[in-house]
Structure 1
Amino acid sequence: MKFNLLVLLALISTATFSQNTTQTDTTYWRMGGSNSLTFSQVSLTNWAAGGQNSISINGNFSAFANRVKGRGKWENSVDLAYGLIKQGEFDFSKSDDLINLATKYSYKVNKDNGKWFYTALLDFRTQFDEGFETPKEIKKISNFMAPGYLTVGTGIAYDPNENLSFALQPLTGKFTFVLDQELADAGRYGVDPIVYNADSSQVISEGENVLAEFGAYFRAKYKNDVFESKLELFTGYTHSQGNIDVNWQNALVLNVTKALTMNAFTQLIYDKDILIGVDDDGDGEIDEGTEKPRVQFKSVLGVGLTYKFGKQKKQ
């Protein structure tokens, strides 16, 4: 399954290389994107300083299709990523996994003022494959659509220029899906867990598969030719009132040559419904009783082949 996903991203990349990258025959649509494949290896033999042999490979694909006509603006994007890493004696495990589809429609509040918009957004996120707590792959913590996030909302947006935008949606629904019943029964990602009778001999109700929240959503986005930063905040009006979910992503792509690039990516996440444990005793396993909401941070730095297509303008 893991290698099949990397093959899929490679095929997408190959298909992208062969397609026509010119604009469509109307001036209303602008399309484009990029894809990359990076690989690294560390091999050690009698290395006095210590360390572990390692192999890693990452594939990424991003594309957008935007339509601007009159007072209306429709923006669509897809981001796919998958990565594998092998360290020492452990088998390959995933290091990156993302499916993100988004569509947003905006309409100018005033035709003479192009900076304020009424807006509606739909954003869907999940991952391709199973994820485990440690490289030993003992305890499963995620799977396809476990979790899956669907955010739907409406509000107002302010776009002061083509690189910067802000959106506030006071009417937003956030739906968390946990369709892997094993994870749902465990109450992962905020859903209600399985309920047994007093002596745990009979199941009263299985774990819920969906958590629905209603609240306010804010997004700030900056994008230029080499750098993109996106901050997303959500707070519920009823469920976990007063807590703020945070998703902050930054991506930097520097061209060394036309095809060779240096990539840097960071992501910071905080979600009160995601409980994370720690390995305090260093035995490679997460200790019981240490799970609680924690700040998650990921950084990726690499050099690889990247191909861009279409008109690389603001999405």
Structure 2
Amino acid sequence: MKHFSCFLIALLFIGGTLHAQDQTFKKLREESAKGIKNTEKDTTGRLWKKGGSFGLTFNQGSLSNWAAGGDKLSLSLLGTLNAFANYKKGRHSWDNNIDLAYGYVNTTSLGTRKSDDRIDLTSKYGYDIGRNWYLSGLFNLRTQFTDGYIYPTDSTREFTSTFFAPAYIVLSPGIDWMPNKDFSLFMSPFTGRWVVVRDEFLSSKGAYGVDTGKHVKSEFGAYVTATYNKEFAKNMTYKTKLELFSNYKHNPGNIDVFWTNIISLKVNRLISANISWDMIYDDDVRVFENKETGVMGPRLQIKQVLGVGLTAKF
């Protein structure tokens, strides 16, 4: 995992040389929401800019006397909400972004299962000190809405997560480097992170690295987050966000990784298509079984979602 983390860090700094057009961390959510471009000169004199988008994707399939086989009925529904409220006056800026997603899949053979579940809130203050550098303070909260399970077999499931179990809270003073309109790099050698596990059952198992029976684990370390957004073809946009955290207090070489990627294709004013894939590595998430050894431990978590549906901006 150390080699993998080093590779990601190298990739992150290489990405900083790409010629693009973004000035602030808020562009990840704004571009995803196709909202107002906050880097453009505002001639209205407004101090606040607010907006966002709501997406709804629905898929249905049914089979009858189908020789190739498959489920008789399958249904899936995914809702997403991206919203921002950003303040700018002189050298001061305050950017607030929220990203919500929830989805379900239902099939006749497997029943109902979650396909997506995300709450991601970011608030960042910045002070422009010139030459593309900003003194900043960042707050981030990441958790989920409802219970989550893993499925060792089609007929069994294991409870692994729920609302605020876990929740990751980051409070980080640092510095932003934004050399162009598409790339932003936030760095902090002094970051506080708290892992919250409010559920009694998960707490009793010491899930997500908390001490057995405890509900909060405090961590202190280095934090880096990079965002890159680029419209590489007409109506097609690529957006990525990479977060790295090293805990000074325990195994600092085991770097936690959270990496999201989205390719968006705008078909028309209301219809859009999105391909997303997320990668997570957290050494404290030891709920996955090695099929060869039977030992529980951390694994690289990968999620991929393809959706076509309605999108409404506000």
- TM bracket (short chain): 0.7 to 0.9
* Matched residue, 1:143: 162
Cα distance in 2 for residues equivalent to 1:74 and 1:162 = 17
Give the AA of the match of 1:104.
K
Does residue 181 in structure 1 map to residue 204 in structure 2?
Answer: no
CA RMSD, 1 decimal: 2.2
Distance 1:187 1:116, change over 3 A: same
What letter is aligned with 2:116? D
Secondary structure of 1:240 counterpart:
coil
Residues 119, 156 of structure 1: 8 Å contact kept:
yes
Q: Are 2:228 and 1:217 aligned?
A: no
How many residues align? The count is: 266
Deviation at 1:91, TM superposition (A): 2.6
Structure 2: distance between partners of 1:305 and 1:78: 19
Pair 1:90–1:279, CA change in 2 (3 A): farther
In 2 relative to 1, CA 44–280 (structure 1 residues): closer, same or farther, beyond 3 Å?
farther
Say if 1:59 and 1:223 are closer, same or farther in 2 by CA, change over 3 A: same
CA deviation string 1:155-197 (max 9, x = no partner): 111011222110101110110000001011111111112xxxx
Q: Whole-Å Cα distance in 1 between the matches of residues 230 and 161 of structure 2?
A: 33
After TM superposition, give the deviation of residue 49 of structure 1 in Å: 1.6
Answer whether contact 2:138 2:173 (CA < 8 A) is retained. Answer: yes
Amino acid at match of 1:172: T
Could you tell me which amino acid in structure 2 is paired with residue 307 of structure 1? A
Indicate which of 255, 259, 265 corresponds to 1:254. 265
Q: CA deviation at 1:93?
A: 1.6
Unmatched tracts of structure 2, length 5 or more = 1-41, 232-236
Report the alpha carbon displacement of residue 35 of structure 1 after superposing the two structures with TM: 1.1
Corresponding residue number in structure 2 for 1:284 = none
User: Given residue 216 of structure 1, which amino acid in structure 2 is its aligned partner?
Assistant: A
Structure 1 residue runs of 4 or more that deviate by more than 6 Å after TM superposition: none
2: CA distance, partners of 1:136 / 1:172: 42
Change (3 A) 1:49 1:290: farther
- Aligned-partner Cα distance in 2 for 1:57–1:83: 5
2:85 equivalent to 1:65: yes
1:136 to partner: Cα distance: 4.5
1:229 maps to: 240
Q: Distance in 1 between matches of 2:186 and 2:109?
A: 47
Q: Which residue of 2 aligns with 1:15?
A: none
Residue in 1 aligned with 2:65?
A: 46
Q: Do 1:24 and 1:30's aligned partners in 2 also have CA atoms closer than 8 Å?
A: no
Mapped to 2, the partners of 1:257 and 1:109 lie a distance apart of 40
Distance 1:73 1:228 in 2: 22
Deviation at 1:280, TM superposition (A): 4.1
Secondary structure of the 1:298 match is strand
1:293 matched to 2:310? The reply is no
Q: Which residue of 1 aligns with 2:191?
A: 172
1:34-113 to structure 2, matched below 5 A, reads: 34-52=53-71, 53-110=73-130, 113=131
**CA shift at 1:42, angstroms?**
2.1
State the distance in 2 between where 1:160 and 1:276 align. Answer: 40
SS of aligned partner of 1:139: strand
1:131 partner amino acid? G
1:119 maps to what in 2?
136
1:31 alignment partner in structure 2 = 50
Mapped pair 1:156 → 2:162? no
- Counterpart CA distance in 2 for 1:260 and 1:241 is 45
TM-score by length of 1: 0.79
Question: The residue matched to 1:163 in structure 2 has which SS?
Answer: strand
What is the CA–CA distance in structure 1 between the aligned matches of 2:230 and 2:296, rounded to whole Å? 39
Q: How much has 1:275 moved relative to structure 2?
A: 1.4
1:218 CA displacement: 0.3
Provide the rounded CA distance (Å) in 1 between the counterparts of 2:229 and 2:53: 14
Answer yes or no: is the 8 Å Cα contact 1:277–1:289 preserved in 2. no
1:137 to partner: Cα distance: 6.2
Paired AA for residue 231 in structure 1: L
Q: CA deviation at 1:81?
A: 0.6
C-alpha displacement at 1:31, in angstroms? 1.9
- In 1, the alpha carbon distance for the partners of 2:223 and 2:176 equals 12
Q: 2:307 aligns with which of 302, 311, 315?
A: 302
2:250 equivalent in structure 1: 239
**1:191-210 maps to which residues of 2 (within 5 A)?**
191-193=210-212, 207-210=213-216
